[in-house]
Amino acid sequence: MSDQRLNFIGGEWTESQTGETFETTDPANPEEVIATYPQSDAADTERAIEAAAEASDEWAATPGPERGRVLTKTGSLLDRRKDDLTELLVREEGKTRSEAGGEVQRAIDIFHYYGSKASDLGGTVKSSSARDTNLYTKTEPLGVAGLITPWNYPIAIPAWKIAPALAAGNAVVIKPASLAPGVVHEIADALAEAGLPDGVLNVVTGPGSEVGATIAGHEDVDAVSFTGSTAVGNTVYDTATEDGKRVQLEMGGKNPTLVGASADAEEAADIVADGAFGVTGQACTACSRAIVHEEVYDEFVDAVVDRAAAIEPDHGIDDPDMGPHVSESELESTLEYVEIAEDEGATLEYGGSTLDREGYFVEPAVFSDVDSEMTLAQEEVFGPVLAVIPVSDFDEGVRVANDVDFGLSAGVVTDDHTEANRFVEEIEAGVVKINEKTTGLELHVPFGGMKDSSSETYREQGDAGLDFYTISKTVYDNY
């Protein structure tokens, strides 16, 4: 029997006024319903925003250390429920048990991190050029933060938006993605148990056209943080900035790994395969382009094909090498890109077929002989599909790496320190990795992209995550 979930508004679990619901199902077993959620509308969202606005002043006036204690306790509560959260994430989103457990742990760590950071907020003292004057800054919350989060990291991304927003003293309204909202409900439950006042966090499920659009456009929302596709993100940006809201967007990626002539092909294949096929390729930072020097190209292709062929997809609960796509539409999109790549003349070296079993499973795919102008080299696939592109030298490799509209994460595999330094300087990406996979992020450093991967306004995570949710007031005190 599936769970019956509700919206969380003003400290209470409540049904949508529409009376309509939607279901989440197990992507490895689509006949199994995991939970039922409210199909909310604009009116439900407005109620949540009103609750947040009413609660915002009290929470803003709460001392930072007290706010921090709530977040720290929330992290501890999530830690106690880690196994249940991991299983829920696997069954709604499809990750393997190891991947889901790692993501849940990240959310736990994020709440502990911002729990400690909340005590440091306040401002700085400066030396005044005038006598008998105190000069200092005062850090204040913005008010109400509207958060719109994706399905591919359904607990980590909400955590790295919710925790800094609350640490800074803001009230929050969040719309989790409809494919996997359950773990956000669990965050709300933990925060309430940890002592968060009623109305400070509100969760509303439903379509982006109703819930997301209302959050982005409502006059009582002061800041909007969105993670998702570039197309939707641009719409959110246009709506939110009409009345001057602060906006933060993190969107798509077409992430390259440049494999230099000095690289060990086997090591490079390990790094690229981990970045390309982990989490079923459903990561905005996944490596989708291996740009490989011609001297090691053939050896690299053979090695990365071996890595792909060794992957055995299965139900994530059994902790296989790779889980299913999150939905039928995501699977169909990946299969369409495989077909387009073949039609445009790329060579399918391995994979790209569905499995003869129930669920949204696909073999990881490797394409060689990919030209930088092909669709597979330009558009985000969001599946376990790798395009391998040959280049004649390092300069051509950097040009090809930058020859896309996105600029989120990028890597280089090389034993040449000069090449590594040049790559850091010349690549157009917000995250740059040397001899590491493009996926995987430390929680205490800034995260964000360039070009169509980001609004290029504010970064997420670390101190930068707090910057987005605060504003500074400069005070001159002439005594």
pLDDT in tens, 121-172: 989 999 999 999 999 999 999 999 999 999 999 999 999 999 999 999 999 9
Question: Edge to edge, what strands does the sheet with 133-141 contain?
Answer: 125-126, 133-141, 470-478
What confidence tens digit (pLDDT) does each residue in 263-292 have? 999 999 999 999 999 999 999 999 999 999
Strands (DSSP E) contained in 19-162 are 21-26, 29-38, 125-126, 133-141, 144-148
The Cα 259–Cα 423 span in angstroms is 11
Cβ-contact 74, 194 below 8 angstroms: yes
d(CA 381, CA 93): 18
Tell me the CA distances in angstroms from 450 to 153, 251, 338, 373, 431, one per residue in order.
20, 10, 27, 20, 9
What domains are there in the chain, each with its CATH number? 3-251+454-478 (3.40.605.10), 255-434 (3.40.309.10)
At 160, the amino acid letter reads: W
pLDDT in tens, 411-445: 999 999 999 999 999 999 999 999 999 999 999 99
* Residue 197: DSSP 8-state: P
Cross-sheet strand order for the sheet of 171-175: 12-14, 7-9, 201-203, 171-175, 144-148, 223-227, 246-250
Half-sphere exposure for 340 (CA within 13 Å, toward CB): 16
Residue 206 region by backbone torsions, left for phi larger than 0, else alpha for psi between -120 and 50, else beta: left
Q: Which residue has the higher pLDDT, 1 or 197?
A: 197
Backbone angles phi, psi at 258, to 5 degrees: -90, 120
Which pLDDT score, from 0 to 100, does residue 110 have?
98
* 253 in Cβ contact with 74 (< 8 Å): no
End-to-end CA distance of the chain: 68
Dist CA 203 CA 76 (whole Å) = 21
pLDDT recorded at residue 431: 98
Q: pTM for the full model?
A: 0.96
Amino acid making up residue 332 = E
Strand order in the sheet with 255-259: 347-350, 365-368, 385-391, 287-293, 255-259, 409-413, 431-434
Average of per-residue pLDDT values in the chain:
97
Pairing of strands 246-250, 171-175: unpaired
Find, among 83, 34, 100, 104, the residue nearest to 327 by Cα.
Answer: 34
Residue 1 has pLDDT above 60, yes or no: no
pLDDT value for 318? 94
Active site residues: 250
Sign of torsion, CA 259 261 263 269? Answer: positive
Between the CA of residue 349 and those of 51, 280, 373, what are the distances in Å? 55, 18, 19
Contact by Cβ (8 Å): 297, 338: no
Span 345-365, average pLDDT:
97
Kindly provide the residue ranges of all beta strands, DSSP E only, lying in 329-384, ordered along the sequence. 347-350, 365-368
Per-residue pLDDT band for 349 (boundaries 50, 70, 90) equals very high
Residue 392 phi, psi (nearest 5): -90, -20
pLDDT digits (tens, 9 = 90+) for 72-100: 999 999 999 999 999 999 999 999 999 99
